[in-house]
Chains A and B, each alone.
Chain A
Amino acid sequence: MAVDMRKIGDEPVYEVFARRVDGEPLRHIGSVAAPDDMLARVYARSIYDEESWITMYVVPRRAVIPVESTRTDAVDAHA
């Protein structure tokens, strides 16, 4: 499960997506740094708890693949 165990402070970034009501599109609400998927879920839950989200997902940033466009270079720079 610990797919990417790195030194503390150098954990991979997970993007956090959520929606408030059924039918609403998923929104990107922020990110967390965590050593594994399970802790990323715990962190996302505790950090983004101001609103009552009905669904929340964490996605490893490396799994967010840029699609070629005029902005692709800028996206790659932050991946």
Chain B
Amino acid sequence: MSTPLLDRASALPAEAVSPLVDLVVSLADNKHALGLRFAEWCSSGPTIEAGVAATAMAQDELGHARVLYGILEDLPGAPRRSDREWAAEDARTVALVAESFPSWPHAIVANVLLDRALTFVLQSAADSRYLPLQQRTRKVIEEEKFHAVHGHGWLRQLAAEGPSLRSRLVGIIRAGWADTLCWFGPGEGGALVPLVRAGILHEAGEAVRQRFLRDVGPLFSEAGLAIPLEPAANGWALKEPLPWTNWDETNRRVWMDDAPSGAQRPGRPLLGVRAADRAQSPAVCPFCGSGNTELISLFGSTSLTSRYHCRECRSAFEQVKWGSLGEP
């Protein structure tokens, strides 16, 4: 069978374009959000080494998002994301990264679950027939090896701290569990099936989910974390069914409420700041004196400051939280 490479967007089969756009947008938006979230821990990790590693991972994730957004430039009907410094209002992210990580264990679980899951999806594109995707995937996978070591090492270390931290970890993992496992798609891949058929992805759905479970299954059981997962004859079996009825194929996330579908979803908080609060920033720009500012992140270079952006002179600045913000 001849499988010529698809070296440009116009060579893509028509049925593959829209699923590819959805997948790349969602991959990159989640990576972008992960980068911003990791960045909030640059100066707040439990050890200096951990903070520096979080900084490096933030940088990696933002870089990966930028590289993946580049694929969208050529795809018809794709949203333009490359010119953005922070998350788009319609960012397709899972709940795990929709708000700031409330604790260091949350950051570690996001690494072990979401970042790792996205890497398994990218690995299924490592030998993609679609050249722009294949070329961009290699370096990402290489850098992600270090994220995996970091995530696994920290999860083991946190779990070894004792039963109370272990039960907290289980709670955090369970909160992100459905989103992470559904991300690979139902059965043969659901909306990703046309991509597998066109050779853009090597595989999707259950096959990739099993790869992921073979990675985290032994980790969770060695760390003594009670996750509803058990070894089975041909991999790992889930003890609880996945909530496929709440799975949103376009946005690639699970909606646990009964919110209406598509664009009618309520606005989600970005960068830990709800859109309404972000627009009503009380801060005055220290550079140009304008009050036309935007709250970007609740955490600046230290925990006691927040980051703002001036819409007038485009400067970024920080402000100490007391006096300027309401109750947290």
Contacts and interface: CB of A to CB of B under 8 A. Distances in A.
A33 B49 contact: yes
A8 B153 contact: no
Given A39-B153, A42-B146, A42-B153, A8 B46 contact: yes
Interface string B54-70: 01110000000000000
A46 B56 contact: yes
A73 B57 CA distance: 40
A43 B55 CA distance: 11
Contact of A38 (B55, B56, B153, B160): B153
Contacts, number: 56
A8 B161 contact: yes
Nearest to A8: B46
A14 to B, nearest CB: 10
B37 to A, nearest CB: 17
B46 A9 contact: yes
Nearest to A35: B157
A41 B146 CA distance: 9
A64 interface: no
Given A7-B161, A34-B49, A39 B56 contact: no
B48 to A, nearest CB: 8
Interface string B23-48: 00000000000000000000000110
Nearest to B104: A8
Contacts of A45: 56, 146
B104 to A, nearest CB: 9
Contacts of B157: 2, 5, 8, 35, 39
Contact of B53 (A7, A35, A46): A46
A74 interface: no
Interface residues of A, number: 20
Contacts of A42: 53, 146, 149-150, 153
B136 to A, nearest CB: 22
A25 B52 CA distance: 27
A5 B160 contact: yes
Interface string A35-51: 11011011101110100
Interface in B141-174: 146, 149-150, 152-154, 156-157, 160-161
Contacts of A5: 156-157, 160
Interface of B: 46-47, 49-50, 52-53, 55-57, 146, 149-150, 152-154, 156-157, 160-161
Given A8-B46, A42-B146, 17 more contacts: A2-B153, A2-B157, A2-B160, A5-B160, A8-B157, A8-B161, A34-B153, A35-B157, A38-B153, A41-B146, A42-B53, A43-B50, A43-B52, A45-B146, A46-B57, A46-B146, A47-B49
